[in-house]
Amino acid sequence: MKAILFLALVLSAVQDLSPLHAEPQTGMLVGRVVYMGPAIPEQVVEVTRDSAFCGTQATLRPMTLHPKTRGLEGAVVSIDGVASPLSNPAVPALVLTNTRCAFTPRLAVGVVGQQVEIRNDDPIMHNTHISMGPRTLVNVAMIPASRPVGKPLKQSGIYTVKCDAHKFMQAHILAFTHPFFSLTDETGAFRIPSLPPGEHQVTIWHDTLGTVQQSVTIAAQGETHVTLEYPNHADARKQ
């Protein structure tokens, strides 16, 4: 009984203090991912199935660069190794839709435990096959007007999304165990808030260019600005 009382006192004390204590200083990483190497041109592939609906050709874009800034769209910037409990389990589902014989979006980022919701808007059948390396996360047939299928992301890492019936359809999902990640916009820009000050290893991933890492030092307060440059793809691919 005494012990409980004591605990209660300690707890209330901690609570009282917390507004002063618990606001540790954090900084924000703000920047842009750029690529100065030669752009990889679009690839046109022939569509041999369901051409009446999908068209006879599909255009694959290995990279999307902003003409002015050389910013790289669709790169994922993340910082691992910062202790942080994932505080928000109620994140909305990542919706992945089969539309006009392509996945929308082509790249999604989320956290472990988050639901992926697969939909099909097309009048033809697709199968949505999500895997990480040799392990299948889910492989479901999606006939026209199927109801959506949900599956939670099981582990962190890079998932590949394919349709085995339409070989040219591809997408990726990146899953993290922390909130310190950001997807670059059409100008290559990103921001990652709430980072503890100090040196961090930043990982940048792009589906064509692969993975590169760089260290940054986050200032004790405010924004730390960086430009992260991808090496020429010919070099990047070797690793």
List residues binding other proteins (CB under 8 A). 48-49, 125, 127-131, 133-143, 146-147, 149, 151, 154, 164-165, 167
Could you tell me which residues come within 8 angstroms of residue 172 by beta carbon, excluding any fewer than 6 positions away? 106, 107, 108, 158, 159, 160, 161, 207
The residue (of 137 and 212) whose beta carbon lies closer to ligand HEC is 137
Interface residue with ligand HEC among 112, 158, 165, 219 (CB under 6 A) is 165
* In the complex, minimum distance from the CB of residue 140 to other proteins, in angstroms, rounded to a whole number: 5
Interface residue with ligand HEC among 16, 42, 164, 235 (CB under 6 A) is 164
Longest dimension (CA), the chain: 79
Could you tell me which residues come within 8 angstroms of residue 221 by beta carbon, excluding any fewer than 6 positions away? 25, 27, 197
| Gap between the Cα atoms of 22 and 36, Å rounded | 42
| Gap between the Cα atoms of 55 and 47, Å rounded | 7
| Nearest residue to ligand HEC, by Cβ distance, number only | 164
8 A C-beta contact, residue 172 and residue 107: yes
The residue (of 16 and 164) whose beta carbon lies closer to ligand HEC is 164
| Gap between the Cα atoms of 9 and 19, Å rounded | 17
Q: Which does 131 bind (CB under 5 to 8 A by kind): other proteins, ligand HEC, none?
A: other proteins
Q: Which does 238 bind (CB under 5 to 8 A by kind): other proteins, ligand HEC, none?
A: none
The residue (of 48 and 227) whose beta carbon lies closer to ligand HEC is 48
